[in-house]
Amino acid sequence: MTAMEEQHPTEKEQAHKARIRRIIAGAIAEVDPAQIAILRTMTPAERVRQAVAMIEAGEHAAAHRLRQRQPELSMAEALREVRRNAQKIEEKFQSWRRQD
């Protein structure tokens, strides 16, 4: 990127930056100072365990909803499908990042 291009971003670049700013602002607005205080008392290992537990809870909730729509699936099959779909979404995000 030339110095001129850096000084004058395209409309697409401006829109992308604005979208990122809105996402970050929304995420910051959702952070509760009490949560931050609690997290500061936890060790890194405790924070990782908590994150893993939240991921597992989300996966199980999604698998439960999937099984309500497709009762023939076992819980293991539903979890596998949920994880497969999450991977597809991550791949799309990566693809979008490469395009920008």
Rounded to 5 degrees, φ, ψ at 30 are -85, -10
Count CB neighbours of 15 within 10 A. Answer: 12
What is the pLDDT at residue 13?
Answer: 87
Structure pTM? 0.61
Cα angle 49, 63, 72 (rounded to 5 degrees) comes to 145
In this structure, are residues 83 and 75 in contact, taking their beta carbons and an 8 Å threshold?
Answer: no
The tens digit of pLDDT for each residue in 25-84 reads 888 877 888 988 998 999 999 999 999 999 999 999 999 999 999 999 999 999 999 999
For the record, the structure tokens of 47 come out as 């924070």
CA distance 43 to 36: 13
Interatomic CA distance for residues 74 and 80, integer angstroms: 10
